[in-house]
Amino acid sequence: MTPEVARLTNDIMIAVGEQQTYLTRLEHQLKELQTREYLGLKDDPELSLILLIDGLKRFLSSIPQFRSYWLGKKSQFSNLSGGLKGLDSSERKNFGQDLNWFKQTVESELAGIQQRAERLEIEFRLLSERLDVTLPPRPSPIGLIHPISRTIEEITAIFGAMDFVVGEGLDIQTDWYNFGALNIPAHHPARADHDTFYLPGERDGRPLLLRTQTSDAQIITMLNQKPPLRVIAPGRTYRADHDATHSPMFHQCEGLAIDRALTLGHLKGCLIDFLRSFFGIANLPVRFRASYFPFTEPSMEVDIGWNRRTGELGGGGDWLEILGSGMVHARVLANCGLDAREWQGFAFGMGVERLTMLKHGIPDLRLFFESDLRWLRHYGCNPLAPVMLHEAP
Ligand code: DAH
C-alpha cells in the first residue's frame, strides 16, 4: 500500500475508533438502564434518558460532516486523488486501487456507525416512552353543564314527554312581537313594567328592542305553524334590572298549546305534572291564583308549596309564586290569524333562573353569569348523567 494512503487509513481508523468507543459506552448504559427497568429499580439520576437521546441526535447529525472531512472536496483524500493524473499508468493503477479501497473502507465504517447509533436511539426512545400502567391517571379536567342549561334540558325533556316540541323566538325583536301582538298596546302600563332595552334602528317599520319575555315565540309559532300545536321555547330575555334576584340578561321558557277544545283543566293538569316532575316531589302542592296578563284571559299565577323558614319545597304551608299562565287571549289569536271560535289554547311562562335556584338551593342569581370556576364546579352538572324523568304522579 502507498504510504500516503496507509497514513490516511491509520488516521481515520483512530477517528472511527473514538466514535465507536462513544457508542460502546452508550450500549453499556443502555444495558444498565434496561436491567434497572426489568428489575423495577428507580431511575438512575446519573443516566438521564433525555440527555442520552439528545447526545445521540447530535452524534447522528454530525456524521455527514465527518464524512465530508475525510472524503469531501477539501479532504486529504481528494488531494491525493488529484495527484493520480501525474503518475504513470502502473503506478496510477496501484495508487487508484488503494484510494478506492480507502474510500470504501470509510463508507462502510461510517455506515456501521450510523446504524449502531440509530439502533441505540430507538432503544433509548423505547425506554423513555414506556407506558407505566401502574401510574395513577393524570386528572383530565372535564367540563360541566351549566345549571341553567341543565334546567332547560330538564324542562325540555318533561314537556317533550307530553308531546311538546321546541320552538324559538328572537333575542332582538320588534316591539310588535314583544308587546303589540301580545295585546300590550303602545301606552299600556305593562310596557313600563318591563324596563325594556330599546335598540337603535327598526325592522318592518317597528322599533327594535331586546325582548323582555319569551312570549314572542307564541306569535312566531302561531304565524308559522298550523294548529293544533304544542311548543315550548326556552331562551334569553333582557330587562334593565340588576340585584340579587334580577340580572339584566336572564332566561325564560315559554309554553303554548293550541287546539280545538283545550280548557283550563288541560292547563292545570299540564303544569301540575310539570312542576311535580321537575322538582321530583310527587305530592308537591300546586295552587292556581287568579291574576292578570294582557295576553291571556283568564290569567293565573301558579304557586307551589314550601316552607318559607327553611326554604324546603313541598310542605310547610307557605306559597311561592313560580310561573304565569292563562288561556290565550282571543285578540292574540286574532293577531296571528286564528279564529277564536275555532281555536283556543293555553300559554305559560317561567323564569329558568328562579326554577334553578329553587331546585338546587342557589341563593344569589348574580353568580350565574360571572363564570367563576369555583361556582361552576360546585353547581355544574355531570355531562354524562342523563336527564332523569321522574314518573309524573
Ligand atoms: N311573559 C310573562 C312574564 O315575563 C310570563 C307569562 C305569563 C308568559 C303568562 C305566558 C303567560 O305565556 O301565559 O312575566
- Tell me the pLDDT tens digit for each residue of 220-239: 999 999 999 999 999 999 99
Confidence check: pLDDT of 388 > 70: no
Q: Which amino acid is at 323?
A: L
Cα 390 from Cα 359, distance rounded (Å): 14
On whether both 116 and 171 belong to a single domain, the answer is no
Q: How far is the CA of 350 from the centre of ligand 1 (A)?
A: 7
Whether 116 and 220 share a structural domain = no
Residue range 83-100, pLDDT digits in tens: 888 888 888 888 999 999
Among residues 94, 128, 162, the one where a domain terminates is 128
- Residue 261: what are its φ and ψ, rounded to 5°? -135, 45
Residue after which a domain boundary falls, among 74, 93, 128: 128
Same structural domain, 75 and 185: no
Ligand 1: lining residues by beta carbon, under 6 Å? 213, 215, 254, 293, 296, 324-326, 347-349
Residue 179 maps to a domain: yes
Pairing between β-strand 206-210 and β-strand 198-203 as defined by DSSP bridges: antiparallel
Q: Answer left, alpha or beta for residue 138, where phi above 0 means left and psi between -120 and 50 means alpha.
A: beta
Q: What are residue 350's DSSP bridge partners?
A: 253, 323
pLDDT value for 38? 83
**How many angstroms does the Cα of residue 299 sit away from the middle of ligand 1?**
9
The stretch 369-392 carries a mean pLDDT of 82
Are 156 and 121 in the same domain?
A: no
* C-alpha cell, 101: 479501497
> 271-305 pLDDT, tens per residue?
999 999 999 999 999 999 999 999 999 999 999 99
Residue with CA closest to ligand 1 atom 8: 349
Q: What is the pTM of this model?
A: 0.67
Residues 124 and 166 occupy one common structural domain = no
Residue 326 · residue 293 · CB < 8 Å? yes
Both 67 and 181 in one domain: the answer is no
91-100, 241-250, 345-354, range with greatest mean pLDDT: 345-354
Mutation to probe ligand 1, out of 177, 179, 210, 215 (largest number of atoms < 8 A from CB): 215
The answer to whether residue 389 sits within a structural domain is no
Q: Residue 140: inside a domain, yes or no?
A: no
Nearest CA to ligand 1 atom 7: 324
pLDDT single digits (tens) 20-51: 999 999 999 999 988 888 888 877 777 788 88
Q: Tell me: do 124 and 195 sit in the same domain.
A: no
Q: Output the residue whose Cα is nearest ligand 1's atom 6.
A: 349
Check which CATH number belongs to the domain holding 203 and give it: 3.30.930.10
Domain C-terminal end among 70, 94, 128: 128
Do 82 and 121 lie in one domain? The reply is: yes
Is 134 within the bounds of a domain? no
Q: Are residues 237 and 280 in the same domain?
A: yes
Q: Indicate if 206 and 330 belong to the same structural domain.
A: yes
Is residue 78 included in any domain, yes or no? yes
| pLDDT tens figures, 69-128 | 999 999 999 998 988 888 888 888 889 999 999 999 999 999 999 999 999 999 998 888
Structural domain boundaries enclosing 179: 147-379
Q: Measuring from atom 2 of ligand 1, which residue has the nearest CA?
A: 349
Query: Per the domain annotation, does 367 fall within a domain?
Result: yes
Give the C-alpha separation, 301 to 303, whole Å: 7
Q: Is the pLDDT of residue 259 over 80?
A: yes
How confident is the model at residue 390, as a pLDDT?
Answer: 56
- Whether 77 and 159 share a structural domain: no
Specify whether 76 is located in the same domain as 169: no
Give, for 165, the enclosing helix (H) or strand (E).
Answer: strand 165-166
Whether 176 shows a pLDDT value over 90: the answer reads: yes
To the nearest 10 degrees (0 to 180), the angle between helices 352-360 and 264-279 is 40
Average pLDDT of span 349-353 = 96
In a domain, 224, yes or no: yes
List % helix, strand, coil for the chain (3-state, nearest 5).
50, 20, 30
Number of domains in the chain: 2
Does 266 map to a domain?
yes
